[in-house]
Amino acid sequence: MKKILLLTTALSGALLSACFSTEISMSMGNMRLINSSAEPQEVMDFATKVCKNDFYLGASFLSKNSKEYRFKCVKAEDNEVLTPIPGTVIPTGKSMPAATGVSKL
Protein backbone atom coordinates (compact mmCIF):
# COMPACT_ATOMS: atom_id res chain seq x y z
CA MET A 1 0.00 0.00 0.00
CA LYS A 2 2.87 2.38 0.81
CA LYS A 3 4.47 1.71 -2.57
CA ILE A 4 1.28 2.68 -4.40
CA LEU A 5 0.96 5.86 -2.34
CA LEU A 6 4.57 6.85 -2.98
CA LEU A 7 4.27 6.11 -6.69
CA THR A 8 1.08 8.16 -6.93
CA THR A 9 2.68 11.06 -5.07
CA ALA A 10 5.77 10.97 -7.30
CA LEU A 11 3.70 10.88 -10.50
CA SER A 12 1.39 13.71 -9.45
CA GLY A 13 4.39 15.83 -8.46
CA ALA A 14 6.00 15.25 -11.85
CA LEU A 15 2.80 16.17 -13.65
CA LEU A 16 2.37 19.35 -11.64
CA SER A 17 5.91 20.45 -12.37
CA ALA A 18 5.23 20.09 -16.10
CA CYS A 19 2.21 22.42 -15.92
CA PHE A 20 2.38 26.03 -16.98
CA SER A 21 2.72 28.72 -14.35
CA THR A 22 0.65 31.91 -14.40
CA GLU A 23 0.63 34.40 -11.54
CA ILE A 24 0.07 38.08 -10.83
CA SER A 25 3.40 39.57 -9.80
CA MET A 26 2.12 43.13 -9.33
CA SER A 27 -1.23 44.83 -9.08
CA MET A 28 -1.31 48.60 -8.76
CA GLY A 29 -4.49 50.53 -9.42
CA ASN A 30 -5.80 49.27 -12.73
CA MET A 31 -2.44 47.88 -13.91
CA ARG A 32 -1.58 44.17 -13.70
CA LEU A 33 1.81 42.54 -14.27
CA ILE A 34 1.44 38.83 -14.97
CA ASN A 35 4.28 36.30 -15.17
CA SER A 36 3.38 33.28 -17.25
CA SER A 37 4.91 30.43 -19.19
CA ALA A 38 1.51 29.52 -20.65
CA GLU A 39 0.22 30.10 -24.18
CA PRO A 40 -0.78 33.72 -24.96
CA GLN A 41 -4.49 32.85 -25.19
CA GLU A 42 -4.40 31.32 -21.70
CA VAL A 43 -2.70 34.47 -20.38
CA MET A 44 -5.34 36.65 -22.05
CA ASP A 45 -8.11 34.55 -20.48
CA PHE A 46 -6.42 34.76 -17.07
CA ALA A 47 -5.97 38.55 -17.29
CA THR A 48 -9.59 39.04 -18.34
CA LYS A 49 -10.79 36.89 -15.46
CA VAL A 50 -8.61 38.76 -12.94
CA CYS A 51 -9.85 42.15 -14.12
CA LYS A 52 -13.49 41.05 -14.18
CA ASN A 53 -13.12 39.71 -10.63
CA ASP A 54 -12.04 43.24 -9.65
CA PHE A 55 -15.23 44.69 -11.23
CA TYR A 56 -13.66 45.92 -14.47
CA LEU A 57 -15.00 45.37 -17.98
CA GLY A 58 -11.92 43.42 -19.02
CA ALA A 59 -8.16 43.47 -19.64
CA SER A 60 -6.37 45.43 -22.32
CA PHE A 61 -2.92 44.17 -23.36
CA LEU A 62 -0.11 46.74 -23.09
CA SER A 63 3.21 44.94 -23.58
CA LYS A 64 5.20 41.74 -23.20
CA ASN A 65 8.79 41.24 -22.09
CA SER A 66 9.96 37.62 -22.01
CA LYS A 67 7.41 35.96 -19.69
CA GLU A 68 6.02 39.23 -18.26
CA TYR A 69 2.74 40.52 -19.63
CA ARG A 70 1.41 43.98 -18.76
CA PHE A 71 -2.31 44.65 -18.77
CA LYS A 72 -4.58 47.55 -17.97
CA CYS A 73 -7.96 46.74 -16.44
CA VAL A 74 -10.60 48.87 -18.17
CA LYS A 75 -13.85 50.21 -16.73
CA ALA A 76 -16.97 50.38 -18.88
CA GLU A 77 -17.23 54.14 -18.51
CA ASP A 78 -13.68 54.65 -19.81
CA ASN A 79 -14.95 54.12 -23.40
CA GLU A 80 -11.67 52.39 -24.19
CA VAL A 81 -11.22 49.58 -26.68
CA LEU A 82 -9.95 46.33 -25.16
CA THR A 83 -6.75 45.25 -26.91
CA PRO A 84 -5.94 41.50 -27.00
CA ILE A 85 -2.47 39.97 -27.12
CA PRO A 86 -1.58 39.76 -30.82
CA GLY A 87 -2.82 36.44 -32.20
CA THR A 88 -5.42 35.96 -29.47
CA VAL A 89 -9.02 36.93 -28.85
CA ILE A 90 -10.62 38.48 -25.81
CA PRO A 91 -12.90 35.93 -24.15
CA THR A 92 -16.53 36.91 -24.09
CA GLY A 93 -18.46 36.25 -20.96
CA LYS A 94 -22.14 36.34 -20.24
CA SER A 95 -23.53 39.80 -20.78
CA MET A 96 -24.85 41.66 -17.81
CA PRO A 97 -28.65 41.66 -17.60
CA ALA A 98 -30.29 44.99 -18.25
CA ALA A 99 -31.41 46.87 -15.19
CA THR A 100 -35.12 46.43 -14.68
CA GLY A 101 -36.88 49.02 -12.65
CA VAL A 102 -40.26 50.60 -12.56
CA SER A 103 -40.23 54.28 -13.31
CA LYS A 104 -43.03 56.59 -12.35
CA LEU A 105 -44.13 59.11 -14.94
Q: Is the pTM of this model over 0.95?
A: no
> If residue 32 lies in a helix (H) or strand (E), which one and from where to where?
strand 31-36
Strand duo 58-65 + 31-36: pairing: unpaired
Q: pLDDT digits over 38-55, tens only?
A: 999 999 999 999 999 999
pLDDT of residue 53: 95
Within 10 angstroms of residue 64's Cβ, the number of other Cβ atoms is 15
What is the residue extent of each domain of the chain? 20-77
Amino acid in position 50: V
User: In this predicted structure, what is the pLDDT of residue 101?
Assistant: 42
Those residues of the chain that have pLDDT short of 70 are 1-18, 93-105
Say what the pLDDT of residue 92 is.
Answer: 78
